[in-house]
Amino acid sequence: MTRQRDLPTSLDLLLGFDAAARLLSFTSAAGELFVTQSAVSRQVQQLEEQLGVKLFERRTRALVLTEAGELYHREVAKALAQLREATAQVRARTAPVVRVTTTVTFASLWLVPRLALFQAKHPDISVHIVADNAVRELERLSLDVAIRYCPEALAGEGAELLFGEQVAPVVSPALLKGRRVCTLDDLLQLPLLDLDDPTGAGLWLSWKVWCEAMNVPRPRDGRGLRYSHYDQALQAAVAGQGVALGRFPLIDPFIADGRLVMPLRDKRYATRAQRAYWLLGSPAAARRAEVRTFTDWLRAQVAKEAAQALKPARARRRQQSPE
């Protein structure tokens, strides 16, 4: 028999916990949910009290899931995904739906945190995201839009460039305390967080390839940890477990709010990826107003953030130029 006390008293508690667990930041979760940072903190605290377990460790400038928190988040994320799927199916009977296929990393780090902006402007349009690393055929699978991370040759006919990607080392400020990291040799003395990808599909995001680009050997003493997914390596970096290869502009928010920093700021330590993010639409779907509305918003959001990223660089050039 299902009893009311078997579940949290409010769905908002689970939404707040899910956002904080994904982003490992109450501040970022608050921005995603359009509430205050203290509201998210209270939601998590209330959920912990109802469950009788601690879900996060609150560290200086870092938020880390406990073992119980990791277990609970896996199940909560699945349940919320099922609820969203069911909601999308019901809404599809009356409301227009845009079906988007993209990679797990792009969905979690870029698209999902910004979808609230789209929904605020267009509450009548439902967006259904299919996130995995497979290249899906739009027409055959009744998908409307693809955002693909690949070389131009594999993007598909008519694909439109959204933005490229640069890779550079990033680290938690907590890991740098008491350490002097001024050179590449200094950096490579720290634990390196790497991807364990037996398929080789993500080889360009490995320390081996990055070190080859820097023309230095990768340390072979076994320091560091390996992860099967990029978001795991990123969370480990936020938790101060080592140095990760940051993917820009996907992780710009992590730099902006101070969760991560670039220990070596010189441009020569950033490598440009051979791949980029491409927008591809189904020809049939392009005739629907809701699909055009979504893709127009996507282009505008990318252009707006690109312009914002240029402002600090322009300001620095003005300061350095002679009067």
pLDDT per residue as tens digits for the range 139-197: 878 899 999 999 999 999 999 999 999 999 999 999 999 888 889 999 999 999 988 76
pLDDT at 274: 81
Assign 205 a pLDDT band (cuts: 50, 70, 90).
confident
Instruction: Please state, for a pLDDT cut of 70, what percent of the chain lies above it.
Output: 88
Is residue 2 scored above 50 in pLDDT?
no
pLDDT at 322: 38
Read off the pLDDT of each residue in 17-29 and give the average, rounded to a whole number: 91
Alpha helices in 52-102 (DSSP H): 67-91
Is residue 250 scored above 90 in pLDDT?
yes
pLDDT at 92: 58
Assign 8 a pLDDT band (cuts: 50, 70, 90).
confident
Sign of CA dihedral 175, 180, 181, 184: negative
Read off the pLDDT of each residue in 209-213 and give the average, rounded to a whole number: 89
List Cβ neighbours of 127 (8 Å cut-off, separation of 6 or more). 97, 98, 100, 115, 118, 119, 294
pLDDT at 91: 58
Distance CA 83, CA 89 (A): 10
Read off the pLDDT of each residue in 1-22 and give the average, rounded to a whole number: 81
Is residue 315 scored above 80 in pLDDT?
no
Is residue 25 scored above 80 in pLDDT?
yes
Distance CA 315, CA 323 (A): 14
The H or E element that residue 304 is part of is helix 289-320
pLDDT at 317: 46
pLDDT at 139: 82
Contact between 50 and 9 (Cβ < 8 Å): yes
The H or E element that residue 166 is part of is strand 160-170
Assign 60 a pLDDT band (cuts: 50, 70, 90).
confident
Can you state the angle between helices 26-33 and 11-23, rounded to 10 degrees? 130
Least confident of 57-61, 68-72, 278-282: 57-61
Is residue 313 scored above 80 in pLDDT?
no
Pairing relation of β-strands 271-281 and 160-170? antiparallel
pLDDT at 231: 86
pLDDT at 75: 93
pLDDT at 61: 76
User: What is the side-by-side order of every strand in the sheet holding 271-281?
Assistant: 126-131, 97-102, 145-150, 271-281, 160-170, 244-248
Read off the pLDDT of each residue in 40-54 and give the average, rounded to a whole number: 94
Is residue 47 scored above 50 in pLDDT?
yes
Contact between 38 and 24 (Cβ < 8 Å): no
> What domains are defined for the chain?
1-92 (1.10.10.10), 163-274 (3.40.190.10)
pLDDT at 208: 87
Assign 62 a pLDDT band (cuts: 50, 70, 90).
confident
